[in-house]
Structure 1
Amino acid sequence: MTQDDVRARVEAFVSDFHRGWERAGKPPNSLSFDQALVEAWAGELAVLVGAHFTTGASTGEEGVLSGRAAHDPSLETITAVKVEADRATVCSVVANGSVPTYYEYRLVRDDERWRICQLLRFLDPPGVPLVDPAVAEAMLNSASLDAELSELPSHLELDVPGLFAQGRQVAPFGEKVSLEVIQLGEVTCGSGVLTVRDFGYGGFALEPLARRLRAGTYRVEVSTVAGTNVALRVLISEAAAVSWHPADVTEGSNIIGVDAGNVAILDLATLVRCEAQQVEELFQEQSLRLLDAAGTVFSLAGDVNDAVMVTSGYGDGAYPCYWGVAENGTIASLVVDFLVLAEDRVRVIAVPWRLGKVTTPELTDHDLEVIADGGSFVVSRRGHTISKIRVLSPDGTALMDGDRLGLSVVGDQHSQRWEPTTTPPPDSVLEVTLHQGYRHT
C-alpha cells in the first residue's frame, strides 16, 4: 500500500491545487492582477502547503497568476512512482497544449504520513540527454589547444585590471563607491574545454570556446559594486595578462547572450554528459543561491566543482568574453565583462532623407534602405552596429525616433516601420548612430 499512499498524496495535491486556482488563482483576464487577487492566491497556496508539504517547502507557483492552472487532475498524469524506505519520487506529465510540462514530486514520510518536500518542474522528459552523444563528441573535438586568437578590435579601450582593482573608487550610479573583488572558490576543468553561457539555456545553442586549455583547477573571482556584478574572472595562471583577445566560441563570436540574468562558465565535457532534467534542476538550485550571493561554484556531476554561475551585471543583455594572455604567450585568464564600468563609443552620421539605398561610404556595409509603403516608410538595415535611427526636420526637430518604433528582426535583417502624420519636408535628414565599441571608465 505504500506506493498507493504516495500516489494518493500527489493526486490529492493536484486536485486541491486546481480547486484553489478556480477559487482564487484564476485571473478573470490578463490585466486582473490586483492586490486582492494576489493575496487570495497566496492564501490558497499557504493552505496547500500546510496540507500536503513539509514545513518550509513551496509549490513553485508562489507569485504566479497564470491563465491556466499548473496542476489539473484532468490533464496531469502520473507516469512513475518510486519508494525507497522513507523517501519517494513521483513523476508526472501535464499534456496541456503542444508543449508538455514534466513534474517530479519528492516526498518524505513524516509521522507515518507522506508529505511533499520538493516539487520540480521540467521542460524535458526524464532520461533525455542534454546533448546527443555524437553532437557532444563533435563539440569537444572542435576546441583545440592551438586555436588562433583573434585580435582585439581597435575601437575598444579596455582596462581589465581596473575591473578587478580592490577598493578602487568608481561611480557607475552617480556617487562614488568602492569596487569589491569576491573570491568564489575554485573550478576544475578536466577536459580543458569550457563553455560560457546563460545556464538557463540548457542545451540550446551550446558551443565551446574555440581555445582549449590544459586540464586543471582554477581560481574564480567576481568584481562587484553596490550589489551589481562588474566582471567575472577565471585565473588560469598567476601570470599577469599583457594583452587581450576575444574569447570566441567555435562559430566565431565572443558575445554571450543572456535572457535569465546569469552567466555560467562550465566544463563542457561534464555538462554534455548530463541529462536535460539534471541541468534544469541545477539551474533552479543555483538561481536560488544567487538571491543571496554574487556568485556560486558548484558541481555538475556531484564529484568536483566544475562550474561557476554569477548574476550578470544589470541582467539580461549581451556581454563580451576575453582571453588574457601572459607575456610568454600562454593563457593567463578568462574574463566576462558585464559592461557596468563601460562607456559606449558612437559615431553619428547624417545623410539626406530620401527613398532608396543609402550609399554613403560609412554605411554601405549595412545595406541601409528607405522604402515607401503606402503612407508609411520602412527603414531596413543589416547587422547590429547601427544602434539608433532618427529623422530630423531641417531645423533639427525630431520627426521620428527609432527607439519608439517596433523592431522586426529576421536573421541579420532589421526593419522598422514609420507612419508619419505628414510627409517629411524637403531637406529632412536621416540621422544614423553607429555603435563603435566601448571604453572602460
Structure 2
Amino acid sequence: MSPQRSEALRPAHPDAFFSGGIRFGFPSGQVVVTEIHDKGDLALPTGSLIAADPTGLIFPEEFEAFTQTVPAGRYPLRLSVARFSDDPGHVRVCAAVLVVQQVPTVRWEQALLPGQDPAKLGEGEFFGFGVDGGVGCLLDASLLDHFAAVLDDREDGTTGWVELVSGDGPGLHIAGTRTATLPGPAGEPSLTAFESGFGDGAYPVWFGRDDNGQVTTVVVDFLVLAGAERLDSITASGGAELDVRRDVSDRG
C-alpha cells in the first residue's frame, strides 16, 4: 500500500456513495447517473479490516489490517455504480460501501496501515491498496489465512481465485453490478469481491465518522468520479456528507 497521486485527500463526491439518481458529467462530455445496489451483509468477527485484490490473497504475508477498526458484527454492503447515459449497458463501480451506522457522516479519514503517516503525504497523495486483477474485496483480518487457502490451487487442478472471478461460465463472474461472496468458516458471508472501477491501479479506502467520532461507514473508493462535475443541485440525503466539494478536475 503505497502513496499515489489523487485529486483530493478526501472523497471527491461522497454523496454519490449513498444516493442514486445523481448526474455527473466528465470533461469528455459523457454523463453518468449513480445507482445504489444492495449486496447483502458482510460478517466481521473482529472488526479488523483488510481491503485487497482477492487474486493476491494467496500470499497472506503481504497483507495487513488497517489501524482503524469497526465493532465486530454483520453489516450491509452496497455498491455505488455509475451508469453511462449514452450506453445504459455500461456501468462502473464507483465504490463499495460498508454501512456501519445509519447516521450522517460529517468527516472522512484515510484508512491507514501500521507505520503510515498522512502528515508525510505530498499535496494530492493518498495511501492506496493495489489492484492487479480488476477486482477488490473486503474481509475481516482474522479470516486472512482461511481465504488464502480457499483461493489457492486445489488438488483437482482448479484455482480458487480463478473460480471466484470467472465462475462456471465463459464470461466474468464479477462485473458491473455483479459481485461474488464467499462464506467464512462459520458459513457467514465473509468476503465480497467487486469490480474495481476502471480496472487495475491503486485505490484509497475511507472511514467516515459521525459527530461523536464513531465510524459510520467504510468506503472502498475506485475514483470513478474524481474528474467529474456534479450536474444536479446538491441535497442532503441518506447519511451523505453535507459539505460536498465541487470537483471539476480531469483524471486524464
TM-score normalised by L of structure 1:
0.41
Q: Which residue of 1 aligns with 2:143?
A: 270
Answer yes or no: is the 8 Å Cα contact 2:13–2:226 preserved in 1.
Answer: no
Query: CA, structure 1 residues 439+207, in 2 after alignment: closer, same or farther (shift >3 Å)?
Result: farther
1:219 aligns with 2:91: no
Q: Which has the higher helix share?
A: 1
Answer yes or no: is the 8 Å Cα contact 1:170–1:176 preserved in 2.
Answer: yes
Answer yes or no: is the 8 Å Cα contact 1:171–1:177 preserved in 2.
Answer: yes
Cα distance in 1 between the residues matched to 2:225 and 2:181: 24
Cα distance in 2 between the residues matched to 1:154 and 1:187: 29
Answer yes or no: is the 8 Å Cα contact 2:138–2:193 preserved in 1.
Answer: yes
Q: 2:178 aligns with which of 263, 278, 294?
A: 294
Answer yes or no: is the 8 Å Cα contact 2:137–2:193 preserved in 1.
Answer: yes
Cα distance in 2 between the residues matched to 1:229 and 1:283: 20
Q: Which residue of 2 aligns with 1:158?
A: 12
Cα distance in 2 between the residues matched to 1:238 and 1:321: 19
Runs of 4+ in 1 over 6 A off after TM superposition: none
Cα distance in 1 between the residues matched to 2:46 and 2:75: 13
Structure 1 unaligned segments of length 5 or more: list them: 1-152, 345-437
Q: Which residue of 1 aligns with 2:162?
A: 284
Q: Which residue of 2 aligns with 1:180?
A: 35
Matched residue type, 1:166: G
Query: CA, structure 1 residues 307+155, in 2 after alignment: closer, same or farther (shift >3 Å)?
Result: closer
Answer yes or no: is the 8 Å Cα contact 2:16–2:80 preserved in 1.
Answer: no
Q: Which residue of 1 aligns with 2:210?
A: 326
Matched residue type, 2:227: E
Query: CA, structure 1 residues 201+328, in 2 after alignment: closer, same or farther (shift >3 Å)?
Result: same
Cα distance in 2 between the residues matched to 1:339 and 1:261: 14
Q: 2:114 aligns with which of 250, 256, 262?
A: 250
Matched residue type, 1:311: E
Mean alpha-carbon deviation: is it higher for 205-214 or for 310-319? Answer: 205-214
Structure 2 unaligned segments of length 5 or more: list them: 1-6, 84-90, 117-125, 153-158, 167-172, 229-244
Query: CA, structure 1 residues 200+440, in 2 after alignment: closer, same or farther (shift >3 Å)?
Result: farther
Cα distance in 2 between the residues matched to 1:195 and 1:157: 19
1:335 aligns with 2:190: no
Q: 1:375-417, CA deviations, whole angstroms, 9 ceiling, x for partnerless residues? A: xxxxxxxxxxxxxxxxxxxxxxxxxxxxxxxxxxxxxxxxxxx
Q: Percent identity?
A: 24
Answer yes or no: is the 8 Å Cα contact 1:222–1:294 preserved in 2.
Answer: no
Matched residue type, 2:76: R
Answer yes or no: is the 8 Å Cα contact 1:326–1:332 preserved in 2.
Answer: yes
Cα distance in 1 between the residues matched to 2:61 and 2:211: 36
Q: CA RMSD in A?
A: 2.5
Shift of 1:220: 0.5
Matched residue type, 1:260: G
Name the larger-Rg structure.
Answer: 1
Matched residue type, 2:191: A
Shift of 1:439: 6.8
Q: Secondary structure at the match of 1:329?
A: coil
Alignment of 1:382-421 (within 5 A): none
1:307 aligns with 2:191: yes
Matched residue type, 2:190: D
Q: Which residue of 2 aligns with 1:109?
A: none
Matched residue type, 1:167: G
Q: 2:105 aligns with which of 229, 234, 241?
A: 241
Alignment of 1:124-135 (within 5 A): none
Cα distance in 1 between the residues matched to 2:220 and 2:46: 21
Shift of 1:338: 0.7
Q: Secondary structure at the match of 1:179?
A: strand
Q: 1:324-364, CA deviations, whole angstroms, 9 ceiling, x for partnerless residues? A: 001121000001111110139xxxxxxxxxxxxxxxxxxxx
Query: CA, structure 1 residues 230+292, in 2 after alignment: closer, same or farther (shift >3 Å)?
Result: closer
Q: 1:34-76, CA deviations, whole angstroms, 9 ceiling, x for partnerless residues? A: xxxxxxxxxxxxxxxxxxxxxxxxxxxxxxxxxxxxxxxxxxx
Answer yes or no: is the 8 Å Cα contact 1:222–1:295 preserved in 2.
Answer: no
Shift of 1:157: 6.3
Cα distance in 2 between the residues matched to 1:182 and 1:338: 16
